[in-house]
Structure 1
Amino acid sequence: MASTRPQPAWLANSVLYQIYPQTFADGNGDGIGDLAGATEKLDHLAWLGVDAVWFSPLFASPFADAGYDVADYLSVAPRYGTNEDLAAFVDAARSRGIRVLLDLVAGHTSDQHPWFREWVDDPADGRYIWNERVGTPAGIWCPVPGRRGGYYQLNFYPCQPALNFGYARQDPGQPWRDPVDAEGPRANRQALRDVMAHWFDLGISGFRVDMAASLVKDDPGHVETARLWAEMREWLDREHPDRALLSEWGDPAVAVPAGFHADFFLHFGRPGLRSLWHTGVGTYDPSWTDTDRYFFDPEGSGGVDTFLREWRRATDAIGVGGGHVALPTSNHDYARLVTGPRTAPMARAAFAFVATWPSLPTIYYGDEIGMRYVEGLPDREGSLLQTTQDRTGSRTPMQWEPGPGAGFSTAPEADFYLPLDPSPERPDVATQRADEGSLLHLVRRLLALRHATPALQPEGSLEVLTEDYPFVYVRGGTHLVVVNPRREPAAATLPSGWDGARGLEVEGVRLDGGRAEASGFSYGIFERP
């Protein structure tokens, strides 16, 4: 069923690229990445074939949670530069055909935000969730530091008080539960629109919304939260129809019908992403009972059936033309593509899959050269939640060139935001640019092929031929993709018509006699003769 909501034309064939600003590129030599440094690297992104950049939070913050604790939604944090520097980045990106998206932390602020500082001393202010007498359960309620007294509800860390978007269900025993149409929740919805409009006016093309499902509390099935985002989408379609909203929800079957243009498959919640990439290294939750198999496993434990189940659930709910599922290689909260037993050469098959699947590919900075998840690093700005939730290793400085500093910064390495990967074999952009056989060049060719081939874009049809090793599917009726990400060879019987197909990007796959023969860690993209 087709969606009646308008869609930004630019989004459907976009390749997204996530920049973690602290560690992407340092332009002023203080050891922390910034907008000046990122601007200097735009030619790399244009050369690679990126269509849109998504920055993790750039807003003013005390950085207790690496910027996800916002103290001012309308100002760039001084460590990154100024609002003028962001405007210059947007202009420079636009001149290269690249759009810019910002991270919007919609459900909470920092406890240093002026809204919160005013709220703690003004009992009539309803912007945050207040409970005058009960401070339990522990970890959800924190004492209010001002004359208001009582407790405020947090969203993540204690420094992140939850903004009040109301409760879906009322309870006479909990009088602090405002309905979703109370004055405080209405004011916060308007504030979100005001923040987005401010940045749209400065050329921002959209937002990735952090913790998008967290806004309305005690909301079974996220019914009221979905209504809130549907209201936002109506406003967006009316006032800013060329802008996009992407959500950190982790359930596209719910988030996209609610109003988002796209939602990410994520490591938490449903198992779609974990069934592809999870190795048990880095971010891991003991509650995940479905991670004994993952398809891009060197030993071939399986799991593509789980991914396909989640994919079909999402796309059936979204409908044709209704929006997109964004498929990331990794992100700032989850272990990189190259992690644990999966090496950079093994990631080649993974990129062949990401570039040909009918989703929105999202490349996490550095994955295009095979940067690895680095274990055993110190906590920095809340990156280490617990021993099984270590996000630090996915946030190390981008490796631009060989040698000391890796081209990330001119500061002494001891002053870097996080240590560099200490491996003497760490990859870098300059070395791989000089090597046509490198992962970087492969990724560039794959993205160019996707852009040039409508059959490989989201609108192209999908026919899955096998749900095993090798994974074989047809895009647009004209292009065959074979992916074997395990060590052992694999083979599959093909329908007639593929013998003699032209190889477009092939490594270790042969079509012959109605069969696809795939060596270990191989991939092939073929065009029907």
Structure 2
Amino acid sequence: MITPKWLENAVFYNVYPQSFYDSNGDGIGDLNGITEKLNYIKDMGFTAIWLNPFYESSYRDGGYDVTDFYKVGKRYGTNADFKRLCTIAHQKGIKVCVDLVAGHTSLECEWFKKSCCTEKNEYTNRYVWTDNWLNIYNGECIGGYAQRNGAYMKNFFYCQPALNYGFANIDEPSWQLPPEHPDCRETKREFINIMEYWITLGADGFRVDLAASLIKNDYDGRAIIKFWREIRTIFDEKYPECVLISEWSHPSHAIAAGFHIDFLIHTVFPAYTSLFRAEDERNVPRIFFGNSFLTPEETVI
């Protein structure tokens, strides 16, 4: 893995576009507003910015429910505005990293609408679906939504259908696919294309939302580490200066997977009652809040 020189001393400033600076008076922050405030960011001593999602979205989860990964949301501006932001930021010595929401989309995404169809098409397996609308898989899936006879897996909220990167450990072979399945590989290729697209417009790297969660039933993390290592190998050859930052909260796994930095947050299953409980991940409900997977030896008070 190649580590860009600029990253060694980088100081990041996180920008949530909607609430940062409004350049046109419509009450919503936008990309041109960020561009106008680059000197302010630079004067504070920051050398890089991390932008929360600015893609076209249904905005039911702060932009983390994307409808079009190739398009800036209308409220934030245009793709040309993003390119201009990157150009001017680079002139001022500021790098630009963007949020990549790789685990799910919005219900309004055209991919999902096509995946809902009864007729088989190229998006049929783009998302995780059970084989029957009554099979909600321990409460992780939502049935009765689509014409097809299946329940879609959600990530967190009902409005975030899970993209299908496969299952590392298959317990229902009638509908669960391995990561090596061509349809799962195609989902991965699509996101590589998305990353390459924003790089061409000037992005210097990506902060990957919930990077460890893409492959399901991956109890030891080996499958997802392999997944990201393959992407890192491609990027080392084509985009060696591209930075990858994970939201993983497990630095040893994230670095092994090819990320330069793990965006470490002590939250969800490592947190809350984690100081007081120790359970096997496979034996607890797939609702992580309040559960701990620490052993007594790992627990520190």
Matched, 1:167 2:163: no
Partner of 1:508: none
Cα deviation, residue 31, structure 1:
1.5
Read off the aligned partner of 1:91 and give its amino acid letter.
T
Distance in 1 between residues matched to 2:42 and 2:272, nearest whole Å: 40
Cα deviation, residue 262, structure 1:
0.8
CA contact (8 A) 2:71 2:78 kept: yes
Cα deviation, residue 174, structure 1:
4.1
Name the larger-Rg structure.
1
65, 76, 89: which one aligns with 1:93? 89
Partner of 2:57: 61
Partner of 2:281: none
Matched, 1:287 2:286: no
Partner of 2:8: 12
Read off the aligned partner of 2:146 and give its amino acid letter.
G
Partner of 2:296: none
Matched, 1:29 2:36: no
Partner of 1:154: 154
Matched, 1:135 2:121: no
Read off the aligned partner of 1:137 and give its amino acid letter.
N
Partner of 1:145: 145
The verdict on how the C-alpha distance between 1:135 and 1:270 changes in structure 2, with shifts beyond 3 A counting, is closer
101, 107, 113: which one aligns with 1:105? 101
Distance in 1 between residues matched to 2:231 and 2:260, nearest whole Å: 12
TM-score (norm 1): 0.50
CA contact (8 A) 2:98 2:203 kept: yes
Cα deviation, residue 286, structure 1:
4.3
Q: How does 1:364-379 map to 2 (within 5 A)?
A: none
CA-to-partner distance for each residue in 1:163-190, whole Å, 9 max, x for gaps?
A: 000000123x442110111122110110
CA-to-partner distance for each residue in 1:346-382, whole Å, 9 max, x for gaps?
A: xxxxxxxxxxxxxxxxxxxxxxxxxxxxxxxxxxxxx
| Identity level (%) | 40
Cα deviation, residue 118, structure 1:
0.8
CA contact (8 A) 1:109 1:160 kept: yes
Distance in 2 between residues matched to 1:37 and 1:73, nearest whole Å: 21
TM-score (norm 2): 0.86
CA contact (8 A) 1:155 1:161 kept: yes
Higher strand share: 1
Helix, strand or coil for the counterpart of 2:63? Answer: coil
Q: Which runs of 5+ in 2 are unaligned?
A: 277-289, 291-301
Helix, strand or coil for the counterpart of 1:207? Answer: strand
Cα deviation, residue 149, structure 1:
2.3
Matched, 1:46 2:42: yes
Cα deviation, residue 153, structure 1:
0.4
Partner of 2:198: 199
Matched, 1:229 2:228: yes
Partner of 1:256: 255
Read off the aligned partner of 1:50 and give its amino acid letter.
F
Read off the aligned partner of 1:94 and give its amino acid letter.
H
Cα deviation, residue 18, structure 1:
0.6
Partner of 1:81: 77
Helix, strand or coil for the counterpart of 1:135? Answer: coil
